[in-house]
Amino acid sequence: MPSLAITGSPAVGKTTVAQLMGQQGWEVLSVSELAKTFDCQGVYDEAMKSQEIDIHKLAEEFFPGANKQQLIDGHLSHFLSVDRIVLLRCEPGELRQRLKARGYDDAKITANVEWELLAGTWAEIIEFDITQPILELDASKLSAEQVVNAISTWLTDDLDSTIPENAIDWLGKR
């Protein structure tokens, strides 16, 4: 039974996809809930209006259950010990609208759009030499159901991974 991380910038659709996969029998866990469980929460960041998580400590403490189909939902989930990673991406203009609809302030919107624009999650994956198979999907062009179908197909196929040279490049698109 595989364990799966669904990662990406805030508002790309991770939680919606995770909920749909939960309906298909996956046990869904969130990084924020795991951080509480394993006492890996840091201080509350007033500027970003978010709870800091000691993801390195959490990575040392949490291991997916054996013989369970577990899915970890969260933008730091790629740091955890999982079998496979799904990286959801979203076109920066669309992401800006989604974050605005959530009521994020301008500074937080800009920080998250820049992170997406610069492929920040890929930078972390490369920097920390994360080697699990990775599926990258453009969630701005696919419905949540289409994303779930693509993940299901990928899990039953040969697990080809997106490599950074073939990754989505918002800066290179015109």
pLDDT at residue 119 in the model:
95
pLDDT at residue 159 in the model:
66
- In sequence order, the 6+-apart residues with CB closer than 8 A to the CB of 39 are none
Bridge pairing between strands 50-53 and 3-7? unpaired
For residue 50, name the pLDDT band (cuts at 50, 70, 90). confident
Secondary element (H or E) of residue 111:
helix 106-117
Count of C-beta atoms within a 10 Å radius of residue 104: 20
Least confident interval from 15-19, 63-67, 87-91, 95-99: 63-67
pTM: 0.93
User: Is residue 7 classed as helix, strand or coil in its secondary structure?
Assistant: strand
What the block records as the tokens of 33 is: 């809930």
Mean pLDDT, to the nearest integer, of 83-102?
97
- Assess whether pLDDT exceeds 80 at residue 141: yes
pLDDT at residue 47 in the model:
73
For residue 157, name the pLDDT band (cuts at 50, 70, 90). confident
- In sequence order, the 6+-apart residues with CB closer than 8 A to the CB of 172 are none
**The CATH number, out of the four listed (3.20.20.70, 3.40.50.300, 2.60.40.10, 3.30.110.30), of the domain defined by the range 3-166:** 3.40.50.300
Mean pLDDT, to the nearest integer, of 85-89?
97
